[in-house]
Amino acid sequence: MSEKEWITVNPGASRRVIVTKDLPGEHWKQILQEADCSMEICTDPAVLSNEEIIARIGERCDGAIGQLTEDWNAHLFAGLRAAGGTAYSNGAVGYNNVDVAAATANGIAVGNTPGVLTETTAEMAVALTFAAGRRVTEADRFMRGGHYQGWLPTMFLGQRFVGKTVGVVGAGRIGSAYARMMVEGHKMHLVYYDLYPNEALEQYIADYSAFLVEHGEAPLTCRRLDSVLDVLREADVVSLHTVLDDATHHLIDAEALAVMKPDAVLVNSSRGPVIDEVALVEHCRSHPEFRVGLDVFEDEPAMKPGLAELDNVVVVPHIASATVWTREGMSSLAAANVAAILAGYPVWESDDITPFLSGKVPKAAPSIVNAADL
């Protein structure tokens, strides 16, 4: 195990927090500094092993900010607890990498970072939709490869989205934001699957449709369907916005892909294992008109064999939340979670987390997922 580089900010403070990756911005450091915390930050881009994290937790550690690339399991939480720790925050909204039950059993609060990724992630899903459907990266490679000999009526024909049907699997915050961007921006009908009806989204689209009609345009529809397969069957574009758990692991497998339209666009900015990537490679090989945009991968950072060679797949390295505002916001929220738990403050009760994004933050933890069980 090679020695990773760590730096310390605010040494000599009474509390000690480890931060497994350097985070953007300065505000998060101010939050922890105000809470009298020193920060030990790993500046090495390589993913830390659990042994390395345990070694850094050491004998005394009050809290930790970790990343979705790490496996925060029972062993790590027992180690943090033994070192006197009570607070952990993922630097992400998703926390499928965290054994929340183990954290709870060790009396450790688990924070996450909702409310700052919504539009940013949805925007990337939109970008992937168009990059895949309009063959942007394929055409970019063609240009750079020096193959462009002149305009042709038959070159790089892709999909037109206006008036077609967009499907969303998981109509939570990000899924709804994506749906609205596609419906409002591109006048698409919406079908979605979610365990629960999203009445606010349905009402919003009904109102938007009425507005269009008032302006002499065709109405749009929004329907919650009975199953994911129904969405896959009907939609011309499908974007995945589910959490990753046992129920959604390989939700999109060979059978699911087989019901999709042969020229559909599939986008995933949720978690890689929601798609059976081996089946996806096979499907894309046998359906060259089927197009895919992926931000996440089953064995991240690796891609399954064959994926990288497929022209009908656009791949980006899990950057859906990668805007300066969002990543700085995520850092502030993670720091505020840890600082507030260490100070004994309550959990923030509103969905509006903007007061935590600059200046002096409220005396509360913005988002603790196991608050009710501690």
**Catalytic: 271?**
yes
Residue with tokens 């390589």: 46
- What whole-number distance in Å separates Cα of residue 288 and Cα of residue 313? 10
Q: Please state the closest distance from residue 21 (CB atom) to ligand DGY, in A.
A: 12
Q: Residue-wise over 275-301: b if at least 16 C-beta within 10 A, else e?
A: bbbbbbbebbeebeebbbbbbbbbeee
Residue with tokens 């609060």: 109
Q: Please state the closest distance from residue 123 (CB atom) to ligand DGY, in A.
A: 12
Q: Which is nearer to ligand DGY, 93 or 127 (CB)?
A: 93
Q: Which is nearer to ligand DGY, 120 or 209 (CB)?
A: 120
Nearest to 243 by CA among 202, 200, 273, 199: 273
User: Which residue among the candidates 298, 318, 327, 328 is catalytic per the annotation?
Assistant: 318
Alpha helices for 171-243 (secondary structure H): 173-186, 199-214, 228-234
Give the three-class secondary structure for 285.
Answer: helix
Q: Which is nearer to ligand DGY, 252 or 320 (CB)?
A: 320
- What whole-number distance in Å separates Cα of residue 341 and Cα of residue 353? 16
**Catalytic: 300?**
yes
Q: Residue-wise over 186-198: b if at least 16 C-beta within 10 A, else e?
A: bbbbbbbbbeeeb
Question: What residue ranges bind ligand DGY (CB under 6 A)?
Answer: 68, 92-94, 117, 320-321
Q: Which is nearer to ligand DGY, 89 or 321 (CB)?
A: 321
**Catalytic: 277?**
no
Q: Please state the closest distance from residue 208 (CB atom) to ligand DGY, in A.
A: 28
User: Which residue among the candidates 173, 271, 283, 327 is catalytic per the annotation?
Assistant: 271
Q: Please state the closest distance from residue 296 (CB atom) to ligand DGY, in A.
A: 7
Q: Which residues are catalytic?
A: 271, 300, 318
